[in-house]
Structure 1
């Protein structure tokens, strides 16, 4: 039997930003934020997307949703290339794809109550026949995300950070989406609250059969919520694997370095720390060949000449490295 078609198929997606070379210069250079990104996301799957700040994770997530327009490549949602759709045709797909933003305060209008913030999407897509149905739907969303009807009339500044993020999640769920991009949904929260929000997302994914792209810079955050993990560096994929395989047997030196920085809860077990030299290079002038080579402890001369292809190590496990 053939495998079921993925809900989302991303092929050779790139996003380039033109920028001026200097304040007094007429010449333009290009920020290569995402380069030739390809990935299939199955229905009901949670993909963890990890990498350092500046790796292009947020740009990728927003390009998939067309909150920013990709420079090239295709995004097929349920078989339809949404990069070719006009504003009217895209409207229906806006309902089916939503985003949870990183900043739980900046993403909420401070002049709107929780009821209006969540109800705005319901009104835009005309999902309620009357005010009673609208309010019942909003209360149901609040309760699903761990809040209650008593929060309807409160403003964002009257909530804690964790509660504000729950409102953001409720807003994303208001239109009944199939696919959600969770853009570092817990990075701005206290550690004690992070686990609560992650557990909430897991429960919602199970109950509503959601497909999700979980963006994070911390591998520890996505370890228990993701089916597969994609490791990204300077706009390119370094490694893709089922979560258990990646954590048990990372193949790319960048993945190993990221994993070595994850805290170990058992003080009797020590993990050898890999310290990467230097900082992430500028996406305006990325290194030739393998973009990770300038910081890689295994780099050889050939790494500067060859862009490593994403090759299979085992079933479902791929890496882009000519040395490992």
Structure 2
């Protein structure tokens, strides 16, 4: 598994992709135990993936993830050529519309949130960020004067720029002043370091301790880095805002299967309903394919007020 991690980092795959690949490779090894994956060969992929589809009844999106992890194992880690995988049972994917909250529902939920998690939720809806993008945001990437947020290495390793709502600038500025105060205290105690991506730690040794590279939403605790022995302050956990949103959703009595990621869907749909063109929304969301963004046009059209023919009938 160490070799899997080495290859993932050499190819600059995201941390989540690496974790997913390691998970499915462990499941694959356990499935064919006691035989080693090299001994089983690529032919073992078909049996495992079909087992997931028929016995485990995994979701349609889960099967390709497991398949990609195993293709990565043989092609990139073992460097074994994979031919045609015959007999592979594919799960048919269903086109599902994203769940979207109305503007009234968003307002009701956000009013029932407070503290730092409320600020996180406001940014998720106001800027259309993914949860991970919000958590890993650095102070240097927030441009108050321009009213912009620069997302670095988002999904797929892509950078993009999105909007920072005007009404969030003051509360965000107050929050950053508190973050700066805590950072000064950390530095005074010999800490004050933030983890840097890739090899920036070696290229810019002092950057890790600068305020610019600190996370906008830092963790409450310090953790020692095993390689440098430095006390690092990572970003806050995603679970905090997820749990706070779930509680607010229940308190607002919104009967929808919504998660905190639904705020991003609502951001796109409400922009479209307000007259923003689809190309601009694609850039703000960071979608590579316009077809991914076009799904919100179907949501917006379905949400429009249309009078049912039943309402035209006269029962008097």
- Give your verdict on TM over 0.5: no
Whose Rg is larger?
A: 2
- Into which bin does the TM-score normalised by the smaller protein fall? under 0.3
The structure with the greater share of residues assigned to strand is 1
Normalised TM-score (structure 2): 0.20
The structure with the greater share of residues assigned to helix is 2
